[in-house]
Amino acid sequence: MKALLDDFRWWAWQARPYAGRFALGIAISIATVGANMALLAVAGWFIASMAAAGLAGASMNYFTPAAVIRGLAIVRTGGRYLERLVTHDATLRLLTGLRLWFYRQIEPLSTLDLHNGDLLARLRSDIDTLDHIYLRLVVPVVVGVVCLSAAVVVFAWYSPALALVNLTLLLAAGAIVPTLVYRLGRAPGQAAVETGARLKAAAVDWVEGLGELTVFGAVETRRAAIIELSDEWITQQRRLSKLSGLSNAGVLLLTNLALVGSAVVLIPLIRTNALHGVDFAPLLLLVIGCFEAVALMPGAWQALGQARAATARLRAFEHRAPVINEPARPAPAPTRDTIRLVDVGVRYTPDGPWALQQVTLSIAPGEHIAIVGPSGAGKSTLVNLLLRLTPKSRGEICWDARALSAYRAADLRARIALVPQQVYLFHTSVRENLLVGRPEASADDMIAAARTAGIHDEIVALPEGYDTLVGEEGQRLSGGQVRRIGIARALLRDAPILILDEPFEGLDRATSARLWARLQRQLADRTLILISHDLARVRTFERILVFENGRLVADGDHARLSQACESYRRLHSAYFKREPAAVPAHGPTPAQRRRA
């Protein structure tokens, strides 16, 4: 019970900015349900009274009750429309706010031990499940309590016994049945949420890794796992559907019992003239209206189990400590980009292996550095350190003579433009994807960056030019086009430090040579950090860092490393055996060009 109350407090806190809209939706729902119940009762009284007047040959004023019936019908119809409009608008606003809240929870965490599919399930399915709280739980319960209380007062005015019979059966339909449904449906509801999340995560991972699964012959294995999860989810949904059917049958049974019990109470009263005969029909129709109002409650409480499970998955991030802690009093953003690492080590778990260890190096403003090493050597970890995505475990990192931890992460990231190994494009136009780098950039700046990246002509050739939609993750473009759009986006950012992670992957030799020549001219005065296995480009750098097993094993130019570093010679030999026709780009080095 304590956990349930805690969940309700959390839901109330999240709904606080939209409290006015929620209250308006409840008020309209009360008016709508009340009008429906009154319409049944008044219509029943009107028909019975007209019949009695006809049998007695008496006259009757039918204009007033007819007008009341029309008015109640209009209120019920218009109220139903307004209720749907207001309650769903409030719910959609709440879901939007919840997605923003969830993003703010995960954004500072930097690295997460979650798959994309699991995050998507939490962001979409779990948050969408919470619409049950207001639409299927709060509104029916509040409306039921208000309207049914009024109806019981009406029953009591006619007969206390009639009120007692209906109050007992209404409590059974509105409280006992929902409680049983909640208890029986909590486990399968939570299991359905968990299985649905696992199914979505598996499906997303299957689609994203389809190429690798095909290469390794694991497509059918993964497909079978997804089918098994799907069957499990369907089984749980079937259990919930059976429970829903039983609860509906229970409410229907209680409705009929209430009708029979009300008739048993009313008939003797009518025979003894304690009540008029015309009161029989409206009171029974009011009983039906009451149970229509309470019919949604069992289903609402059944959905509560799923909502609580979704809430638990979302709130799991509330107490996660950010990987990077911002300083209480941040230093002003750095103005010079002198970076120094002294005996730096990184491990992702306290007892895990070292991703980096004993790394000492300095980077001067405007310096061009290439980083090489086998996969898992620590190259990406070094980049994550500079971006403040990963904390150091030991050593010191200084930027502009201050400790890296003295700055806000956003101030440091503003000075870095990164082209990651896997460039992500949003499902929008080429123009919008480029402007992610600098939203206020002019069209001329955007085109200039695209020309430097060697992608402008290909963008113009697209069906709608810069306004062409690229598809989900750029699926309508080739891998080389996606990479060059990523480079153009980084250039448009115009940051003093540019980090390129495998920028030539997916490009043919001629295209990569032309791209590299333009980048050398464009970046002559900026700090460039190139991570690449393309030794034909790397060997032209005056400074090359060689990483292996998380250690910086060598630092120098190609000639020196070829003589003194076995790791570099091994990488160099392996590359040119694999790419025998690769020829290093000739011409002045970046430093020579700057001196010229």
Q: What percent of the chain has pLDDT over 70?
A: 93
Q: Answer whether CATH 3.40.50.300 is correct for domain 336-415+498-505+518-596.
A: yes
Q: Inform me whether the pLDDT recorded for 585 exceeds 50.
A: no
Average pLDDT for residues 251-271, to the nearest whole number? 91
Average pLDDT for residues 530-535, to the nearest whole number? 85
Q: What whole-number distance in Å separates Cα of residue 416 and Cα of residue 497? A: 5
Q: Which of 118-122, 148-152, 480-484 has the lowest mean pLDDT?
A: 118-122
Q: Which of 269-283, 304-318, 436-450 has the lowest mean pLDDT?
A: 304-318
* pLDDT at residue 118 in the model: 64
Q: Tokens for 345?
A: 């080590």
Q: Tokens for 74?
A: 């209009």
Q: Which residues is 555 bridged to in the sheet?
A: 545
* pLDDT at residue 591 in the model: 47
Q: Inform me whether the pLDDT recorded for 76 exceeds 60.
A: yes
* pLDDT at residue 594 in the model: 46
Average pLDDT for residues 472-482, to the nearest whole number? 81
Q: Inform me whether the pLDDT recorded for 109 exceeds 80.
A: no
CA distances from 117 to 125, 155, 222 (A): 11, 54, 14
Q: Inform me whether the pLDDT recorded for 105 exceeds 50.
A: yes
164 CB-near residues (< 8 Å, 6+ apart): none
* pLDDT at residue 304 in the model: 75
CA distances from 489 to 57, 420, 448 (A): 88, 12, 11
Domain coordinates in residue numbering, the chain: 18-315, 336-415+498-505+518-596, 422-494
Average pLDDT for residues 105-125, to the nearest whole number? 64
Nearest to 232 by CA among 205, 263, 197: 197
Q: What whole-number distance in Å separates Cα of residue 544 and Cα of residue 372? A: 7
Which spans in 1-110 are helix H? 2-15, 19-56, 63-106
* pLDDT at residue 30 in the model: 92
Average pLDDT for residues 422-443, to the nearest whole number? 88
Average pLDDT for residues 22-40, to the nearest whole number? 92
Collapsed DSSP state (helix, strand, coil) of residue 56: helix
φ and ψ at residue 475, rounded to 5 degrees: -70, -15
Which spans in 216-296 are helix H? 219-271, 280-294
* pLDDT at residue 267 in the model: 92
- Residue 143: enclosing H or E segment and its boundaries? helix 139-158
Q: Inform me whether the pLDDT recorded for 1 exceeds 70.
A: no
pLDDT classification of 23: cutoffs 50, 70, 90: very high
pLDDT classification of 162: cutoffs 50, 70, 90: very high
Class of domain 18-315: mainly alpha
Q: Answer whether CATH 3.40.50.300 is correct for domain 422-494.
A: yes
Q: Helix count (H) and strand count (E) of the chain?
A: 24, 10
SS (H, E, C) 482-550: HHHHHHHHHHHHCCCEEEEECCCCCCCHHHHHHHHHHHHHHCCCCEEEEECCCHHHHCCCCCEEEEECC
69-78 exposure pattern, b = at least 16 Cβ within 10 A, e = fewer: beebeebbee
* pLDDT at residue 592 in the model: 46
Does 117 or 301 have the greater pLDDT score?
301
Tell me if domain 336-415+498-505+518-596 and domain 422-494 are identical in fold. yes
Cβ neighbour number for residue 265 with a 10 Å cutoff: 21
Q: Which residues is 556 bridged to in the sheet?
A: 544
* pLDDT at residue 581 in the model: 57
Q: Inform me whether the pLDDT recorded for 525 exceeds 90.
A: no
Q: Inform me whether the pLDDT recorded for 460 exceeds 80.
A: yes
| Cβ–Cβ under 8 Å, residues 590 and 557 | no
| Cβ–Cβ under 8 Å, residues 359 and 379 | no
Q: What whole-number distance in Å separates Cα of residue 171 and Cα of residue 276? A: 28
Q: pLDDT tens across 345-392, in order?
A: 998 888 888 888 899 999 999 899 999 888 888 888 888 888 888 888
Q: Inform me whether the pLDDT recorded for 596 exceeds 50.
A: no
Q: Which of 90-104, 177-191, 350-364, 539-553 has the lowest mean pLDDT?
A: 177-191
57 CB-near residues (< 8 Å, 6+ apart): none
Query: Around 316, how many Cα atoms within 13 Å sit in the side-chain half-sphere?
Result: 14
Q: Inform me whether the pLDDT recorded for 593 exceeds 50.
A: no
Q: What whole-number distance in Å separates Cα of residue 515 and Cα of residue 535? A: 16
End-to-end Cα spacing for the chain: 76
Q: What percent of the chain has pLDDT over 90?
A: 20
pLDDT averaged over every residue in the chain: 84
- Give the orientation angle of helix 280-294 with respect to helix 139-158, to 10 degrees: 160
